[in-house]
């Protein structure tokens, strides 16, 4: 059965499910980045407090690696989300609909600098800055002895 033989209602429902799924994936990865960041920064801070600077540096580098992996997942899920949404907008909602209104509002929000800094990349930026700061702090104390 070709795509054109499937009723448009069925195609629309399936496409909406895909968009919702990847939207949820994006949110989950952002949440994981925050939790991972808090856990790693807390562990590295504790190791720094106890003077275990080499372990703290290793933990921070590992945290940066995890942050990169989560950011890669975020980009991939966001790309799938964008592709599914584009399919809905181009093929299924030619004359407008709820997803068209959502996309219009979304594009307006994406132009705002504060939205980009907090919503799109906020958790990744904060974790990266904190871990790099902790690496520098531990390097200073490691070579200060």
56 phi and psi, to 5 degrees?
Answer: -65, -40
Q: Is the pLDDT of residue 69 over 60?
A: yes
At residue 145, does pLDDT exceed 60? no
Q: Which of 42-46, 55-59, 95-99 is the least confident region?
A: 95-99
Cβ atoms of 94 and 20 closer than 8 Å? no
Looking at residue 32, its pLDDT comes to: 87
CA 99, CA 132: separation in Å to the nearest integer? 39
For the chain, the average pLDDT equals 84
CB proximity list for 30: less than 8 A, separation 6 or greater: 74, 123
Domain spans in the chain, listed from the N-terminal domain onward: 7-144
Question: Please, are residues 56 and 120 in contact by the beta-carbon 8 Å criterion?
Answer: no
Q: Check residue 121 and give its pLDDT.
A: 75
pLDDT at residue 75 greater than cutoff 70: yes
């Amino acid at each position: 059965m070709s795509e054109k033989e499937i009723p448009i209602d069925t195609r629309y429902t399936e496409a909406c499910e895909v968009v919702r799924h990847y939207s949820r994936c994006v949110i989950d990865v952002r949440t994981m980045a925050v939790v991972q960041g808090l856990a790693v920064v807390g562990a590295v801070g504790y190791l720094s407090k106890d003077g275990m600077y080499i372990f703290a540096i290793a933990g921070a580098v590992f945290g940066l690696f995890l942050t990169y992996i989560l950011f890669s997942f975020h980009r991939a899920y966001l790309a799938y989300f964008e592709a599914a949404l584009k399919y809905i907008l181009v093929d299924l909602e030619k004359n407008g609909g709820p997803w068209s209104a959502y996309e219009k509002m979304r594009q307006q929000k994406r132009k705002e600098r504060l939205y980009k800094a907090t919503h799109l990349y906020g958790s990744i930026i904060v974790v990266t800055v904190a871990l790099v700061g902790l690496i520098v702090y531990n390097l200073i104390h490691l070579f200060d002895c």
